[in-house]
Amino acid sequence: MSGETSRRESTEVVVIGAGPAGLTLANLLRQAGVGCVVLERQSRPYVEQRQRAGILDHRGAGVFESWGLADVVLAGMPQETKVEFRVDGEQRFLDVPTLTEGRLGRLVPQQVLVGRLLAHYLETGGDLRFEAAEVTPRGVGGPSPTVTYRDADGIPHEIACSYVAGCDGHHGVSRVSLPEHALTTYSYDHGIGWLTILADAPPPRYPLMAITTHGFAAHFPRGPRASRFYLQCAPADTAADWPDERIWTQLRLRLADGDLPGGPIGEKVFVEMRSHVVDPMHYGRLFLVGDAAHIITPMGGKGMNLAVADADVLAHALRAAVRDGDEEPLAAYSATCLERVWNHQEFSRWMTEMTHEAGDETLAGPFRRRLARARFDRLFTSGPAARAFGDLMAGG
């Protein structure tokens, strides 16, 4: 930081980003007795209000149970029961306890997970610095990394550390700070568009997905009076193509519910239906966690769960390295995580293809539509097919 004297300090691990990945990791490291400092670019209210995912799968819930944090994260959050599909208006239900052989997830909206982890971390004395600007990891390829940043008053800081955890999402600084040759990125364009809205509208009884000739739609609970809706749209669509009235008309049509209550729309976002995976998920002493390493479409609800799963693997590995001097689990971190990442990418892609192609024939043609219908019907007629689906639903 040119010309100015930085405030210098040190810790074991600097965690960049306070989303689901960073806050899970920070709390697990505290449980493990490993020192860390979390640097977050945004303010506390911004972090607490960001609403995205809604389900912590069975494996994700198990992470908090195994680290003694079940009361903090899961208390009062309902278990999954059923999933509803509406195929051109005809209702079909999948029973989640049967599918997953009792391995149930919990309905935990992302802002509840983040809010609870944040409060617990700060209440137990955790060090989290909001509004940290110009966060820059340095020297991560060598034995003595540092992370520099400017605090909310513009004062420069430098933190020496043993390891850096890049938990700063897809648009963060960690991944792009690494040498280009260090990582391979695998990307895939799903060839469809999705519009998602958050609305003050009553949630559905069960998570609901609609397969129709007019395109895919979904309706998910996000609290006692809040819903997230998804609508398949053309990839190039913009907000001008989707005034509120068209959104509600299309939702009522696709969900086959002329009485679907509307409500104020709080957020209207076009989801980029692209997937990305970097390999390996580390370089030197910097480890990428969650969306910083991989982006998955919201179909299947695995983005937040992968962030929690990565954080769990990394927390175990950092504990072994810092407390026992054993760096082997850190060396295995990327391969361990990528096995789950690719399985979930496959699950998400499989579901996306099935639920879209089984509806609108113009998407992939009549032959593929019938293949997708066969795949879908098998979930209701074949125990092994349903259980394979349920296994991934539960987190693999």
Q: Which residues bind ligand RFL (CB under 6 A)?
A: 16-22, 39-42, 47, 52-55, 110, 132, 135, 167-169, 172-173, 196, 269, 271, 290-291, 298, 301-305, 307
**By C-beta, is 162 or 297 nearer to ligand RFL?**
297
- In whole angstroms, the minimum distance from the beta carbon of 324 to ligand RFL comes to 27
Cβ proximity to ligand RFL, 18 vs 63, nearer residue: 18
CB of 167 to ligand RFL, least distance (A): 5
Structure tokens at 49: 């209000």
Could you give the CA distance from residue 277 to residue 281 in angstroms, rounded to a whole number? 9
Whether 91 and 211 have beta carbons less than 8 Å apart is answered as no
d(CA 140, CA 59): 31
Residue 97: cis peptide before it, omega within 30 degrees of 0: no
Instruction: Give dist(CA 69, CA 63) in Å, integer.
Output: 8
Nearer to ligand RFL, 307 or 318 (CB): 307
Residue with tokens 């907000």: 239
The strand ranges marked E within 76-207 are: 82-87, 90-95, 106-107, 127-129, 133-138, 146-150, 156-160, 163-166, 184-189, 193-199
Provide, rounded to whole angstroms, the least separation between the CB of residue 311 and ligand RFL. 8
The smaller minimum CB distance to ligand RFL, of residues 96 and 173, is found at 173
> Residues 393, 26, 147, 172: what is their CA dihedral angle, to the nearest 10 degrees?
30
Please enumerate in sequence order all residues whose Cβ is within 8 A of that of 148, keeping only pairs 6 or more positions apart, or say none: 1, 6, 134, 135, 136, 138, 156, 157, 158, 159
Nearest to 235 by CA among 345, 373, 356: 356
Q: How many residues does the chain have?
A: 396
Least separation in angstroms between CB 63 and ligand RFL: 13
Residue with Cβ nearer ligand RFL (65 or 134): 134
Three-state DSSP at 28 gives: helix
- Token pair 């400092």 is found at 37
Closest CA to 141 of 179, 111, 113: 179
Q: What residue type is assigned to position 203 of the chain?
A: P
Q: Which is nearer to ligand RFL, 114 or 321 (CB)?
A: 114
Minimum CB separation from ligand RFL for residue 318, in Å?
17
* Nearer residue to ligand RFL within complex by CB, 304 or 358: 304
Task: In angstroms, give the least distance from the CB of 139 to ligand RFL.
Answer: 17
- Let me know: does 334 contact 279? Beta carbons within 8 Å: yes
83 versus 271: smaller Cβ distance to ligand RFL: 271
Reported as type and span, the H/E element at residue 321 is helix 303-324
CB-nearer residue toward ligand RFL: 291 or 353: 291
d(CA 369, CA 163): 49
Shortest Cβ distance from residue 51 to ligand RFL (Å)? Answer: 8
Closest separation between CB of residue 133 and ligand RFL, Å? 8
Q: Smallest distance from the beta carbon of 197 to ligand RFL, in angstroms?
A: 9
Give the pairing type, strands 193-199 and 208-211: unpaired
In the bound complex, what is the minimum distance in angstroms from residue 38's beta carbon to ligand RFL? 9
Distance CA 251, CA 273 (A): 20
The CB-of-68 to ligand RFL minimum distance in angstroms stands at 21
SS3 state of residue 380? helix
Instruction: Return the number of the residue (173 or 226) whose C-beta is nearest ligand RFL.
Output: 173
Residue closer to ligand RFL by CB (options 12, 272) is 272
